[in-house]
């Protein structure tokens, strides 16, 4: 078997186009354009790239983008004041504070200061709690992108056995909660788990966000399973020349694709979906703030094929 390749770039393009179309329809009705505020503290190179991309894609979707770049030395009070201002700014419908924050700042306190209805990352404790209890809430962008892809591949997720590898607050935990809300049977493994290959062999769906290049091997995978690789790891690529690098995921892609039924590549799999889902979350937040119907995007629906 050679697995179907799940084209995250194409998926993301569809989501972005739908968001753009809806913004073009709704903004004249509401008399206001959706606005996304992105806050970056410090100069982490990866964060700089993400923040630039988030701002650019918001503009391309017809939204307003407000970027706040603060120095590494920013004190908590200053950042909290900015968030409070954005919370009450009627031009801003979504607020995102790029993580990681410098170590002198208390990430939890900062995130929990964002108004929950503007928390387009879905990281505020009230959104986390709502998703954890199966209520409608803003959900984190990367797991939302994974769910959209899974829903197009599986007519019915109910009763599927899913293994999530990694238990971060950004991906693993919300991913497990969302799979559970879809009535999957969910297992969660992490770096202290001793039997991951054994768990994986029972899984119809494997989602891995462990940050370990090539962790998931082909003999872990049940034939025909769906494998979603959230990992993005830069490794040395001497075959491309001295000092060269390349991106790989957490899955041994060349081997696992011979066994799996469907698989996301890295790059070009889950990655592009994250910002597309951020735009979708910003649109949802805007709709709620304007009392507009927030219809699901096509890829959110149960059977969008
Ligand atoms: N850093 C890495 N991923 C994310 C994300 O999804 N949201 C935010 N705010 N920071 C991140």
Give the DSSP letter string of 224-288.
Answer: T-EEEE---EEEE-GGG-TT-EEEE-SB-HHHHTTT-SEE--SSSSSHHHHHHHHHHHHHHHHHH
CA-closest residue to ligand 1 atom 9: 98
Residue 212 lies in a domain: yes
Which CA distances in Å does 292 have to 65, 222, 270? 21, 44, 29
Q: Is 190 helix (H, G, I), strand (E, B) or coil?
A: coil
pLDDT tens per residue across span 242-254: 999 999 999 999 9
> Rounded CA gap, 74 and 72, in Å?
6
Q: What is the pLDDT of residue 2?
A: 93
Same-domain check for residues 93 and 171? no
Active site residues: 54, 98, 121
Q: What is the pLDDT of residue 48?
A: 97
Q: What is the pLDDT of residue 3?
A: 97
Q: What is the pLDDT of residue 1?
A: 75
Residue 208 lies in a domain: yes
Per-residue pLDDT band for 305 (boundaries 50, 70, 90) equals: very low
**How far, in Å, from the CA of 171 to the mean position of ligand 1?**
10
pLDDT tens per residue across span 203-231: 999 999 999 999 999 999 999 999 999 99
Residue 22 lies in a domain: no
Question: Do residues 171 and 196 touch, judged by C-beta distance below 8 A?
Answer: no
CA-closest residue to ligand 1 atom 8: 98
Q: What is the pLDDT of residue 166?
A: 98
Average pLDDT value for residue range 93-105: 98
Same-domain check for residues 249 and 145? yes
Residue 51 lies in a domain: yes
Which CA distances in Å does 46 have to 1, 119, 190, 232, 255? 36, 21, 24, 12, 29
Residue 85 lies in domain: 32-120
CATH number, domain containing residue 172: 3.40.50.720
Q: What is the pLDDT of residue 294?
A: 81
pLDDT tens per residue across span 257-304: 999 999 999 999 999 999 999 999 999 999 999 999 887 665 554 433
pLDDT tens per residue across span 58-89: 999 999 999 999 999 999 999 999 999 999 99
**How far, in Å, from the CA of 206 to the mean position of ligand 1?**
22
Ligand 1 atom nearest to 141, measured from its CA: 6
Dihedral Cα 80, 85, 91, 94, nearest 10 deg: 20
Q: What is the pLDDT of residue 293?
A: 84
Which residue, 53, 86, 120, sits at the end of a domain?
120
**How far, in Å, from the CA of 141 to the mean position of ligand 1?**
9
Q: What is the pLDDT of residue 174?
A: 98
pLDDT tens per residue across span 147-188: 999 999 999 999 999 999 999 999 999 999 999 999 999 999
Q: What is the pLDDT of residue 299?
A: 58
Residue 16 lies in a domain: no
Q: Which of 1-5, 11-15, 116-120 has the lowest mean pLDDT?
A: 1-5
CATH number, domain containing residue 99: 3.40.50.10860
Q: Which residues pair with 185 in a beta bridge?
A: 161
Q: Per-residue b/e over 35-68, b at no fewer than 16 CB within 10 Å?
A: bbbbbbbbebeebeebbeebbebbeebbbbbbeb
**Token duo for residue 37:** 């505020």
Question: Do residues 125 and 102 touch, judged by C-beta distance below 8 A?
Answer: no
Question: Do residues 103 and 116 touch, judged by C-beta distance below 8 A?
Answer: no
Neighbours of 107 (CB within 10 A): 15
The total number of structural domains that make up the chain: 2
Q: What is the pLDDT of residue 300?
A: 59
Residue 177 lies in a domain: yes
DSSP 97: E
Give 176-180's long-range contacts (Cβ < 8 A, gap of 24+): 177/131, 177/132, 178/131, 178/139, 178/143, 178/144, 178/147, 179/147, 179/205, 179/207
């Amino acid at each position: 078997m050679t697995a179907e390749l799940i084209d995250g770039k194409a998926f993301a393009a569809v989501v972005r186009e739908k968001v753009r179309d809806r913004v073009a329809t709704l903004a004249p009705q509401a008399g206001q354009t959706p606005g996304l505020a992105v806050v970056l503290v410090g100069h982490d190179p990866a964060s700089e790239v993400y923040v630039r991309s988030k701002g650019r894609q918001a503009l391309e979707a017809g939204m307003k983008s407000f970027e706040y770049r603060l120095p590494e030395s920013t004190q908590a009070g200053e950042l909290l004041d900015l968030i409070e201002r954005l919370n009450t700014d009627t031009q801003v419908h979504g607020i995102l504070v790029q993580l990681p924050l410098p170590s002198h700042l208390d990430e939890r306190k900062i995130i929990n200061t964002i108004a929950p209805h503007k928390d387009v990352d879905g990281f505020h404790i009230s959104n986390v709690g709502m998703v954890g209890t199966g209520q409608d809430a803003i959900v984190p962008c990367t797991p939302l992108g994974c769910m959209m892809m899974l829903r197009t591949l599986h007519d019915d997720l109910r009763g599927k056995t899913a293994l999530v590898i990694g238990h971060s607050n950004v991906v693993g935990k919300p991913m497990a909660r969302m799979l559970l809300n879809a009535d999957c049977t969910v297992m969660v493994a992490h770096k202290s788990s001793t039997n991951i290959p054994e768990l994986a062999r029972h899984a119809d769906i494997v989602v891995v966000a462990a940050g370990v290049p090539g962790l998931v091997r082909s003999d872990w995978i049940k034939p025909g399973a769906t494998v979603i690789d959230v990992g993005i790891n830069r490794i040395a690529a001497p075959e491309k020349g001295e000092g060269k690098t390349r991106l790989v995921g957490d899955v041994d892609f060349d081997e696992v694709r011979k066994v799996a039924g469907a698989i996301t590549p890295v790059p070009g799999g889950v990655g592009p979906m994250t910002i597309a889902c951020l735009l979708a979350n910003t649109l949802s937040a805007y709709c709620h703030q304007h009392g507009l119907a927030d219809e699901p995007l096509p890829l959110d629906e149960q059977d969008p094929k």
